Structure formats: C-alpha cells, structure tokens
C-alpha cells in the first residue's frame, strides 16, 4: 500500500523541491498531496487518511507553533515533521516537546535527510502508539484487579496505588494517597511494623511472600489480609522502594470462624440431644458442603489471580519478541526461502501464545455484572454481525428465527455479546466446508420439574417462571460422546494444538451463571451441535388502572 503524505507548504518552488527529494530517495511507493493553507490541510485530514504530514509553520492563514498545535490536536495519531525556514533552537525544542516527530530547517534539508526523517517519524509514531497501548493495558489491568496494589519509595511514601487501596483507606481516589505513609492510616505500632518490613526488603532484596496480617481500617472494623512485598528496582537494578499486593481474606476468616462455631454447637447438640442424631448428621453434612463450596470458591479465585499474573508477565515479552522478529526480517533484507519459513513459524508461534494470554485474561476477569433490561434478539443480531466476515469466509449461511415481542431480560450486554460470539465462532469452526448456522429465540413458561428447576444450590428457576430461550445450531460433525462431559473444563479443547486455548466455553459458562441462567450443549440427532441458553424474563410492570 502506498505511503500517503500530506505536504503543507505555501511556497510552490519549495513544494516542488521537496517533491523531487522524495522522488529521488524514497524507495517505497507514495502518494503526495500538496496544500498551501492550514484550512486546506485540516479539510484534507478530515476527508481522508494520511500516514505523515510535512508542515511549514509559516502559512498565509497561520504562523508559528500554533500552526503545528492546531494540526496535532486534530490528528494526534499522525506523525508530523515540521519544515521551517527559521533555525531557532528554542522553537524547535518547544515544537518537539509538543509532539512533533522532527524539526527540519529548510536550508539544511537534502533528499537523504528528508527521506530518513520520514521513515524515522513513521516508525517512532508506531513505537509510541504500541507503548501507549501497553501502558493503557497495564493500567486497566491494575485497576480491574480486586487485590490492593501499591508502590512505595524508599521512605515508605505511596507513589502509586490502585482503586482498591483507596477504598481500603476510605480515600476518594488513588491520587489522594500520593506522598502519604502508613503512619497516616494505621496505629503507630502497626505502621512501624510495616515500615520495618519494607526497610528490611530494601536492605536485603528479599521478598516477603504471603504473610497474613490483621488490620483495623478507617471503618474501625478488623480486616484480614494476605500480603506480598517485593523490591522495586530502577533500570540500573538498584532497589529504590517496594511493590506490595494485598488480598483481603476477611470473608474467608469470618466463614472459618462461623464454621468453627457451628461445629462447636453441633458437637454440643450431639452430646445433649442423643435422640436427634439424624437431624444433627444432616446439619453436619450441610456444613461440610458449605466448607467445600468455600474452598472451591477460593481455589477458583486463586486460579484467576494466577492466570492474570501469568498473562501480565508473559504478554510484554511476547510483544518484544514479535517486534524483534520484525526488526530481524527488515535487517535480513531478502532472506532465502528457508529463513523466511523459519521467521513465519516463529511469528505464528508467538501469535498463538498471545491468543492463550488473551484467554487467560478473559478467564480471570472480575465477575461483576452491569445488568439492565435488554432485548436478547438485538444482542444476538449484533453478535452475529461481529462474525459476519467469518461466515462469508467459510461459506456458512446464517438463518434467523427470532420470536417477535420477546420479553426483556436483565443482561450485561457486553458479556452476553462475548458469550454469543464465542458460541458462533465454535459453530463456524465445526463447519470448515460450509453449512448452516441457525439462531432461534422463543419464550415459555416453566410448568414442570427439570435439571434447572428448584436446584438446591442456586435455585435458578421455579415453576411458573417465564423464561427466554436462545438456541444456536450448526450442521457440523458434532462433539465426540466421550468429550461432552468435559467441554466446560478450563483448558480442555477438541481443536488441534495451537488452534484453541480451551478457555472459551469455561468463560461462557461463567457468564451464564453470573446471569443465573443455564447453558446446555448437546449433539443433534441429524448431525451438528445445539447450544441452548435460558434466562429469566423480566416481569412486566403492572398497568395503571384508568381514573374513573
């Protein structure tokens, strides 16, 4: 694809000269658009995309650094090289600090300098964009984690925290904590204990891992945390502070205490009421079940946090490797066939690993809903639109049989869209030679018992509930019978190595259970798979009786 360059220059002679410079030295194809005014430049940038802007600061309708600032504010994502007749170091420095990729004095420009500046500007902008995306991803990941994450300098002052730390201290935002220490929030003795721990870490470089601590926060109630503190090193490897992660386990401690009290009461009741042995055994069984649920819940939370941590630690090295392959490919120039194949295999392997990382991030995402009344038909059509290109690519015909006047359900639109897209993609994968993907919706009232009615654990549905049902069917080969019972297990997949992470259906099941709905996957007698989703319909508001 040709490089698209916008030249903003009011002197025709200089414009022709720069055009010749580009023609002489720029090897790749390019398209040059020349305008003479700032107003013409803003119109061109609004009307079509460009890869680079060559900008003169002195134009008939704008002069000085304001010319650059106007364009940079309009298109901050496009690199801008300033070409000025003014050899002023302060102006050049101010322009670069404001976001320009380069500042060239026209009298010093030749073809090679111009082309080199063009190439460097484009590459620098790509690197800046990539770094910005990584920074935003890291910030979003830190803020989304429920654990309390903080960074302190060598004096124990908070440098950076996430929202969970601010909530722990009853502060309005993480910024309110900057510059403060533990002595601003904890009793002196406890604050001194934490300070001594951190100074020991700074002195020895040895991390403090999974230490249990009891705190009294701003609400004057005891809290239990499991804390890990590690050294924070600068780019030279010198320890300049500490990084800490706290996990609030108050609910687990409370549950353990309640369980101990319940067991004590149970033992007392067994001694005093021998005639009620059967009832006491039932109570004991129920308590054991509660304990196992707590253990299983904590295990899954730990797996989620581990997955998020692994994903964070691995994603950046993968990005570095991917960029490194690009640099190697460019440096080799025209590699032989074998080297080209090796580089392609390495790139594919990195992309597959990156897919697994994204799956881990989805699997470890916080289980919080933003539910509101939604039309499942509308969400399903939007999800189907997102996979339209895959349907066309695999020659798959979609068929819709959506019920009119479908009642609303309380749904998280983003999560349900993710759920449906995942199911659609699985169906498309199952039909490599083409086929039919059918989406059917309906509503019904539950009139009898079944596997999803009166469940003693979550009581998803009751007799008489009005529910919305969505069925997605494909005409593929189906799922082997011996694999059906494992399809929702994390990291289990029937796809060949490198083509699936085994997390998709685990995430789907989690999303459905968060909505207190059900998901069922079965092979069809006529071939292919049917996925059945069921959600409780929102009760309609009672009609207001008319006034007499």
Domain boundary among 224, 248, 272: 248
For helices 65-74 and 89-97, what crossing angle results, to 10°? Answer: 10
CATH classification at residue 175: 3.30.450.20
In the chain the first and final C-alpha atoms are separated, in Å, by 73
CA 330/CA 126 separation, integer angstroms: 15
What is the side-by-side strand order in the sheet with 30-35?
30-35, 3-8, 52-55, 80-84, 102-105
* Largest interatomic CA distance in the chain: 108
Question: Are 392 and 531 in the same domain?
Answer: yes
Question: Are 332 and 422 in the same domain?
Answer: no
CATH classification at residue 474: 3.30.565.10
Burial class (CB in 10 A: 0-12, 13-18, 19+), 60: exposed
Q: Is residue 547 part of a domain?
A: no
Question: Are 460 and 434 in the same domain?
Answer: yes
Helix residue ranges, H only, 368-411: 376-386, 388-393
Domain around 204: 146-248
Structure tokens at 133: 């995306």
Question: Are 137 and 151 in the same domain?
Answer: no
Q: Is residue 51 part of a domain?
A: yes
Q: Is residue 28 part of a domain?
A: yes
CA 7/CA 114 separation, integer angstroms: 12
Q: Is residue 544 part of a domain?
A: no
For residues 30-55, one letter each, b for 16 or more C-beta atoms within 10 angstroms of the residue's C-beta and e for the rest, the string is eebbbbbebebbbebbeeeebbbbbb
Half-sphere exposure of 2 (CA within 13 A, CB side): 9
Question: Are 528 and 390 in the same domain?
Answer: yes
Contact of 495 with 477, CB cutoff 8 Å: no
Contact of 435 with 398, CB cutoff 8 Å: no
Question: Are 161 and 187 in the same domain?
Answer: yes
Domain boundary among 340, 363, 386: 363
CA 71/CA 80 separation, integer angstroms: 9
Reduced to 3 states, what is the DSSP secondary structure of residue 536?
strand
Q: Is residue 542 part of a domain?
A: no
pTM over 0.85: no
Supply the pLDDT for residue 375. 93
Structure tokens at 192: 């001194």
Question: Are 10 and 109 in the same domain?
Answer: yes
CA 479/CA 420 separation, integer angstroms: 19
What is the side-by-side strand order in the sheet with 158-161?
158-161, 148-153, 239-248, 222-233, 208-216
Contact of 208 with 189, CB cutoff 8 Å: no
Q: Is residue 447 part of a domain?
A: yes
DSSP E strands in 390-447: the ranges are 396-401, 409-411, 435-445
Where do we find the tokens 């067994």? Answer: 270
Structure tokens at 354: 């990156």
The DSSP element (H or E) to which 91 belongs, if any, is helix 89-97
Half-sphere exposure of 526 (CA within 13 A, CB side): 5
Domain boundary among 248, 266, 301: 248
Question: Are 71 and 86 in the same domain?
Answer: yes
CATH classification at residue 301: 1.10.287
Structure tokens at 524: 């069809």
- Structural domain count, the chain: 4
What is the DSSP code (8-state) at residue 461? B
Question: Are 347 and 424 in the same domain?
Answer: no
What is the DSSP code (8-state) at residue 446? -
Angle 43-46-50 from CA coordinates, rounded to 5°: 105
Query: What are 246's strand-pairing partners?
Result: 148, 227
Query: What are 504's strand-pairing partners?
Result: none
For helices 413-429 and 376-386, what crossing angle results, to 10°? Answer: 50
Q: Is residue 543 part of a domain?
A: no
Question: Are 157 and 296 in the same domain?
Answer: no
CA 36/CA 9 separation, integer angstroms: 5
Question: Are 498 and 393 in the same domain?
Answer: yes
Q: How far is CA 165 from CA 243, 244, 281, 283, in A?
A: 13, 11, 43, 39
Q: Is residue 376 part of a domain?
A: yes
CA 238/CA 59 separation, integer angstroms: 50
Supply the pLDDT for residue 143. 73
Where do we find the tokens 């009891």? Answer: 214
Instruction: Transcribe 7-74 into DSSP letters.
Output: EE-S-HHHHHHHHHHHHHH--S-EEEEEESSHHHHHHHHHHS--SEEEE-S-BTTB-THHHHHHHHHH
Q: How far is CA 332 from CA 202, 243, 345, in A?
A: 45, 41, 16
Angle 192-196-200 from CA coordinates, rounded to 5°: 170
Supply the pLDDT for residue 174. 86
Query: What are 533's strand-pairing partners?
Result: 470, 519
Q: From first to last of its 548 residues, what are the pLDDT tens digits of the chain?
A: 788 999 999 999 888 988 888 888 788 888 889 999 999 999 999 999 998 899 999 899 998 899 999 999 999 889 999 988 888 888 889 988 888 888 888 888 887 888 888 888 878 877 777 776 777 676 677 777 788 888 999 999 998 888 888 888 888 888 898 899 989 888 888 889 889 999 999 999 999 888 887 876 656 777 788 889 999 898 888 999 999 888 888 888 788 888 888 888 887 776 776 666 666 667 666 666 555 545 544 555 555 555 556 655 666 676 777 777 777 777 777 777 788 777 777 877 777 666 666 655 555 554 567 889 999 999 999 888 888 988 998 999 999 999 988 999 999 998 898 889 888 988 898 898 899 999 999 999 887 655 444 443 345 678 888 999 999 999 988 888 777 777 776 655 655 544 555 566 777 888 888 888 999 989 998 888 999 999 999 876 554 444 43
CA 323/CA 232 separation, integer angstroms: 26
CATH classification at residue 135: 3.40.50.2300
The DSSP element (H or E) to which 197 belongs, if any, is helix 188-204
Question: Are 167 and 226 in the same domain?
Answer: yes
Task: Round the CA-based radius of gyration of the chain to a whole number and report it.
Answer: 31
């Amino acid at each position: 694809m040709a490089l698209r360059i916008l030249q903003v220059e009011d002197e025709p002679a200089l414009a022709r000269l720069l055009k010749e410079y580009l023609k002489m030295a720029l090897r790749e194809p390019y398209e040059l658009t020349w305008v003479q005014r700032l107003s013409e430049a803003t119109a061109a940038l609004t009307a079509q995309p460009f890869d680079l802007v060559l900008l003169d600061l002195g134009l008939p309708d704008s002069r000085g650094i304001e010319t650059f600032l106007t364009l940079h504010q309009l298109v901050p994502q496009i690199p801008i090289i300033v070409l000025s007749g003014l050899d002023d170091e302060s102006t050049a420095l101010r322009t670069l600090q404001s976001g320009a990729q380069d500042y060239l004095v026209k009298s010093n420009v030749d073809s090679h300098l111009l082309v080199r500046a063009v190439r460097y500007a484009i590459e620098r902008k790509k690197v800046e964009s990539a770094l910005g995306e990584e920074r935003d991803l890291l910030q979003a990941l830190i803020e989304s984690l429920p654990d309390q994450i903080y960074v302190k300098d060598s004096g124990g002052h908070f440098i950076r925290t996430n929202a969970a730390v601010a909530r722990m201290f009853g502060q309005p935002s993480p910024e309110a904590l900057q510059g403060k220490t533990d002595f601003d929030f904890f009793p002196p003795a406890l604050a001194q204990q934490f300070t001594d721990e951190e100074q020991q870490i700074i002195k020895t470089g040895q991390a403090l891992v999974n230490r249990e601590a009891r705190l009294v926060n701003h609400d004057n109630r005891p809290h239990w945390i499991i804390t890990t503190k590690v050294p924070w090193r600068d780019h030279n490897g010198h320890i300049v502070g500490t990084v800490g992660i706290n996990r609030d386990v108050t609910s687990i401690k409370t549950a353990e205490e309640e369980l101990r009290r319940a067991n004590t009461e149970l033992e007392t009741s067994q001694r005093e009421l021998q005639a009620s042995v059967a009832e006491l055994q039932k109570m004991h069984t129920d308590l054991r079940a509660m304990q196992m649920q707590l253990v299983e819940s904590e295990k899954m939370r730990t797996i989620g946090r581990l997955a998020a941590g692994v994903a964070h630690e691995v994603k950046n090295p993968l990005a570095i490797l991917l960029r490194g392959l690009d640099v190697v490919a460019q440096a080799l120039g025209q590699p032989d066939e074998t080297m080209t194949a090796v580089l392609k295999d390495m790139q594919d392997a990195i992309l597959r690993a990156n897919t697994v990382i994204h799956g881990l991030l989805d699997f470890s995402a916080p289980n919080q809903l933003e539910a509101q009344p939604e039309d499942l038909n509308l969400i399903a059509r939007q999800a189907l639109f997102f996979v339209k290109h895959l349907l066309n690519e695999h020659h798959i015909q979609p068929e819709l049989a959506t019920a009119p006047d479908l009642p609303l359900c309380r749904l998280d639109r983003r999560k349900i869209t993710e759920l449906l897209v995942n199911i659609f993609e699985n169906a498309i994968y199952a039909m490599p030679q083409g086929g039919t993907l059918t989406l059917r919706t309906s509503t019904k009232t539950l009139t009898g018992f079944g596997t999803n009615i009166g469940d003693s654990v979550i009581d998803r549905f009751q007799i008489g509930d009005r529910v919305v049902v969505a069925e997605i069917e494909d005409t593929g080969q189906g799922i082997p019978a011996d694999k059906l019972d494992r399809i929702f297990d994390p990291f289990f997949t029937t796809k060949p190595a490198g083509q699936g992470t085994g997390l998709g259906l685990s995430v789907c099941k989690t999303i459905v259970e968060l909505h207190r709905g059900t998901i069922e996957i079965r092979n069809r007698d006529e071939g292919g798979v049917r996925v059945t989703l069921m959600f409780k319909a929102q009760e309609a508001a009672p009609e207001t009786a008319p006034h007499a």
